[in-house]
Structure formats: structure tokens, C-alpha cells
Amino acid sequence: MQLIDTNYTILRAGRILTGPSINLEKNVIIKINGGIITSITPASYSPAKEVLDFSNYTLIPGPVDCHVHLALDGIDFKSCLEKWHNREIMKQLIKKQLYTSLEYGITCLRDGGDRGGITLTLKDVNSAGPLVKASGAALRIKDMYGSFLGPGLAKNHLKETVSYLAKKNADQIKVLVTGVVSFKEYGRVGPIQFDLPALQKIVQTAGENGLKVMAHANSDEAVRTCLQAGVHSIEHGYFLSRDTLKIMAQKGIYWIPTIVPVANQLKKPYRQRYSKEEHNVIEKTFKRQQEMLCIAREMGVPLGVGTDAGASGVLHGTGFHEELRLYCEAGLSPEAILKAATIEGSRLLGLDSGLEQGKPPRFTVVAGNPLKDLTVLKTPRYIAL
């Protein structure tokens, strides 16, 4: 994988995927000058100085992982927590995980937080890596789920905490509305941490500071409460209903289903942690999520791709392509998956698609045609950031 110099470049592309619907265009000339795509035109002529020849490649808008945890490695949770007090070690760990993500073609990451706001302070540690949108510490209620994601708050401190995070240059606000799904009892997710008035206060204060809210929420009741409060994306969203998806479609609220952190628990070595009964619960849980994903797509719910990378069993970089495979197995078309993984993810994060005239370039160059074979995305040849 090589980075493309975006100061001044002319390239010929055999195929590009552009537009809001991932339209395929063949044989084009793309000019980049001063970090801006100045033109995308049919290759009806040979430019005087054709710097890069990608005639046998496909250019796609930059892939986005909408939910990661860069302060975790997906391998050893306890070991990572023990390293959090050492800034230099964490700097190297995050730098490594950014490089790995880039190697797998990912151009932008939205971090879902860590207790000390480590990623927020180190998000620019790798200048030649993916763009990072960091949350800082997540909002949660004291003594409830998520001690590794946020220090725990009293409800009367919500407004000042959101304002504090905004002053620390958080890119969005992460709120923990429920716990995680149970692998012992199908459908159980734990109590709701924030009621509607509290969530409304969070969303309002975030909006006053120009920030969106990403809500970790499982159960239909919790997701409904989030929708009423006006959050901008539902993270995880296990056990939501068709009616709730309909509301999400109507309001244009994004869903990041994060299927891979559950599905990967059935892979070695993780599956040996669980009993046969728990295997059944895990499978039933992620299979339902895949079913609801298809329904969401049919209803027009805006979809992004998020992996929860850093969570147990989900590695940075590879987890993204495992999530794409789960979308494919669920029945989504390559066009729908690519749209979620690129254009929609960018839109959720407030970014341009990455492959538009008049905009900064952020795209990945792959061999083959991802509309026919999504696995070509695993091995990008070139990347523009």
C-alpha cells in the first residue's frame, strides 16, 4: 500500500465509484491540485503529464469505520487497561493501530471513547494515517455499565460535562444509554442509564457546541428513548423493532449495528469461554441483528459500518472486513455495503465522500471490481488522504 501525493497529481482510472448511489464510471482522468480534486472527466484524451496509471484499478471513496476504540487492541483487555497510565506506551499502541487500519484501506475512524480520554489527546499522533474523530470519555451514570469508557457522572453534571468535552475538542459526544447484550440470557441488556429528559439535555448541550451525539443503546425501549431525544446515531441497537426502524428512517437517524463483536465470540479462541447454551444465545443474537439490518436497508434507515474494534475478538483493520462480510451474509448488495462503508459513513462524520470534484481527496485504490468481489477491499494498492 502506498500513499498518493495529493499536492499535484494526474491519474487515469479504469473505474471509479462516485455519487450518492455509488455509480460506476469507467475510464476517467482525475486531476488533484493543492489538495483538491479539480476535475473528474472522461479519459477522451491523454494528459500531457499522466503521473499515475490506474487503468486496471478501481477508485472508491475512503472507507470509514464509524465505531472503534483505539485505546484497546481487541486481544487483551486487561493488559490494555494496565497500559493506560503510560502515555508513551499508549502513543505507540494507537500509532500502530492507526497504521494497521490504513493498511486495510480505512481512511477515517470514529472513536467511541475511553475513560481517560487518551485517544482524544493522541488522535493526531500519526499525521500520515487515517483521520480520527474522537469522543473523549463517554457519558455514563456512576456505578452503571462502562467504567472503562467514562468515569461516571451524577445527572446534575451532564451539561457541564458535555461543555467540558467540547472545550477539549471532542469531535462528538458518546453516551452510554444501556449495557451490553447478555450471552447467557437472550434479549437481556441491563437497565437504562439515562431517561428522556437527561438525554434531551445531553443532545441540546452538544448541539449548542456544534457536536453530534452517538448513543450506545440496546433494547427497543432504550433506542426509542434515544430517538425521542434526537441523538444522531444508534450504536449497536440490538433487539430494536421494525416500528423503531421506521422511525429512524423517517428521522434520518443513523444505525451502526456492530455485528462482528458478537459474531466473533463463536470463533477460536473465544468460543471456548462459553457453554453450548451460550453459543446458541450468541448465534441467535447476531443472526437477529443481520435480519434487522436487511429490514433497515429496505426501510431506508441510514446505515454506516462500525466494528467496535478494540473490543474482545475484534482487531483493528481486519474487523472492518469481517463486518462487511457479515453485511454480505445478511443479504445486502455490494452497492449497499459500499455505500454504507464509504459515503454514508463520511456523511455521518460530517465529511465529504472523498471522491468529489472541488473537494479534498480521500479515496482508496483497489485491484478488481468491489461491486463483484468485496474482498478486494482488504488489499488496497494506493490511498489518498
pLDDT digits (tens, 9 = 90+) for 247-302: 999 999 999 999 999 999 999 999 999 999 999 999 999 999 999 999 999 999 99
DSSP assignment letter at 94: H
pLDDT at 45: 64
Torsion-angle region of 67 (φ positive above 0: left; ψ -120 to 50: alpha; else: beta): beta
- What is the residue type of 65? D
Q: Find the helix or strand (DSSP H, E) in which 246 lies.
A: helix 242-251
Return the C-alpha cell found at 68.
Answer: 472503534
Dihedral angle sign, alpha carbons of residues 195, 258, 184, 113: negative
Strands 363-367 and 52-61: what pairing?
antiparallel
- The structural domains of the chain, ordered by start, are 2-62+354-384 (2.30.40.10), 64-348 (3.20.20.140)
User: Average of pLDDT values for 230-241?
Assistant: 98
Instruction: State how far the Cα of 364 lies from the Cα of 351, in Å rounded to an integer.
Output: 16
Within 10 A of 257 (CB to CB), how many other CB atoms are there?
Answer: 29
What proportion of the chain, given as a percentage, has pLDDT over 70? 98
Mean pLDDT of the chain: 95
The candidate with the shortest Cα–Cα distance to 379, out of 312, 321, 296, 330, is 321
Q: Tell which residue, 124, 144, 100, has the closest CA to residue 314.
A: 100
User: Each residue of 135-178: pLDDT tens digit?
Assistant: 999 999 999 999 999 998 988 899 999 999 999 999 999 999 99
